[in-house]
Chain A
Amino acid sequence: MGEFDFGVIQRSLGYLFREGMTFTLTLTGIAAAGGIFFGTLLAMMRLSSHKWLSLPATGYVNLMRSIPLLLVIFWFYFLVPYIGAWVTGASQPLKVGAFTSSVVTFMLFEAAYYSEIMRAGIQSIARGQVWAGLALGLNYWQSMKEVVLPQAFRNMVPILLTQTIILFQDTSLVYVLSITDFLGAASKIAQRDGRLVEMYTFAALVYFIVSYVLSHLVKRLQLRIAIIR
Chain B
Amino acid sequence: MNYHWNWGIFWEMSADGRHTWFMTLIMGLGWTLATAFCAGVIALILGSFIGVVRTMPLRWAVRIGNAYVEVFRNIPLLVQLFLWYFVVPEVLPSSVGDTIKAMNPPWASFVPAVLGLGLFTAARIAEQVRAGIQALARGQGMAGTALGLTLAQTYRTVLLPMAYRIIMPPLTSETMNLIKNTSVALTIGLIELTAAARSMQEFTFQVFEAFTAATVIYIVVNLIVVNLMRWLERRVAVPGFIGPAVGGGGH
Contacts from A to B (Cβ < 8 Å):
1-2, 47, 63, 66-71, 74-75, 78-79, 82, 85-86, 91-93, 123, 169-170, 172-173, 175-176, 183, 187, 190, 196-197, 200-201, 203-204, 207-208, 211-212, 215
B99 within 8 A of partner (CB): no
Which secondary structure dominates where chain B touches chain A?
Answer: helix
B111 within 8 A of partner (CB): no
What is the CB-to-nearest-CB distance from B193 to chain A, in angstroms, rounded to a whole number? Answer: 8
What is the CB-to-nearest-CB distance from A95 to chain B, in angstroms, rounded to a whole number? Answer: 15
> 23 pairs across A/B with beta carbons < 8 Å?
A1-B91, A66-B219, A67-B218, A68-B180, A68-B218, A69-B183, A70-B186, A71-B194, A74-B194, A74-B201, A78-B207, A79-B208, A92-B2, A170-B76, A175-B78, A176-B187, A183-B78, A197-B90, A197-B91, A200-B87, A204-B83, A207-B74, A208-B74
What are the interface flags for B59-84 relative to A under an 8 Å C-beta threshold, 1 for contact and 0 otherwise?
Answer: 00000000000110111111110110
What A residues does B76 contact at CB under 8 A? 169-170, 172-173, 183, 207
B235 within 8 A of partner (CB): no
With A and B bound together, what is the CA distance between A176 and B80 in angstroms?
15
Q: Which of A173, A175, A196, A204 has the most CB of B within 10 A?
A: A204
What A residues does B207 contact at CB under 8 A? 78
B152 within 8 A of partner (CB): no
Are the C-beta atoms of A212 and B70 separated by less than 8 Å? yes
Are the C-beta atoms of B86 and A93 separated by less than 8 Å? no
What are the interface flags for B170-197 relative to A under an 8 Å C-beta threshold, 1 for contact and 0 otherwise?
Answer: 0000001000111110110000001001
Are the C-beta atoms of A200 and B215 separated by less than 8 Å? no
Are the C-beta atoms of A196 and B74 separated by less than 8 Å? no
B37 within 8 A of partner (CB): no
Are the C-beta atoms of B1 and A68 separated by less than 8 Å? no
What are the interface flags for B88-115 relative to A under an 8 Å C-beta threshold, 1 for contact and 0 otherwise?
Answer: 0011011000000000000000000000
Which among A91, A173, A207, A211 is the interface contact of B184 at CB below 8 angstroms?
Answer: A173
Which among A74, A123, A173, A175 is the interface contact of B198 at CB below 8 angstroms?
Answer: A74
B29 within 8 A of partner (CB): no
Which among B94, B211, B218 is the interface contact of A1 at CB below 8 angstroms?
Answer: B94
| Interface residue tally for chain B (C-beta within 8 Å) | 42
Are the C-beta atoms of B180 and A93 separated by less than 8 Å? no
Are the C-beta atoms of A196 and B90 separated by less than 8 Å? yes
What are the interface flags for B215-230 relative to A under an 8 Å C-beta threshold, 1 for contact and 0 otherwise?
Answer: 1001100100000000
What B residues does A91 contact at CB under 8 A? 1-2
B4 within 8 A of partner (CB): no
What A residues does B82 contact at CB under 8 A? 187, 200, 203
Q: 4 nearest interchain CB pairs?
A: A211-B74, A68-B183, A169-B76, A68-B180
Which among B1, B182, B183, B201 is the interface contact of A86 at CB below 8 angstroms?
Answer: B1
Nearest-neighbor residue (CB-CB) of A174 within chain B: B78
What B residues does A86 contact at CB under 8 A? 1
Given known contacts A170-B76, A207-B79, A66 and B1 CB-to-CB distance under 8 angstroms: no
Are the C-beta atoms of A66 and B222 separated by less than 8 Å? yes
Are the C-beta atoms of A211 and B75 separated by less than 8 Å? yes
With A and B bound together, what is the CA distance between A69 and B184 in angstroms?
9
With A and B bound together, what is the CA distance between A173 and B181 in angstroms?
11
Which residues in window 1-37 of B have CB below 8 A to A? 1-3
Which among A66, A172, A207, A208 is the interface contact of B218 at CB below 8 angstroms?
Answer: A66
Which among B2, B79, B214, B222 is the interface contact of A200 at CB below 8 angstroms?
Answer: B79
With A and B bound together, what is the CA distance between A74 and B193 in angstroms?
13
What is the CB-to-nearest-CB distance from B213 to chain A, in angstroms, rounded to a whole number? Answer: 11
What A residues does B181 contact at CB under 8 A? 68
Are the C-beta atoms of A197 and B87 separated by less than 8 Å? yes
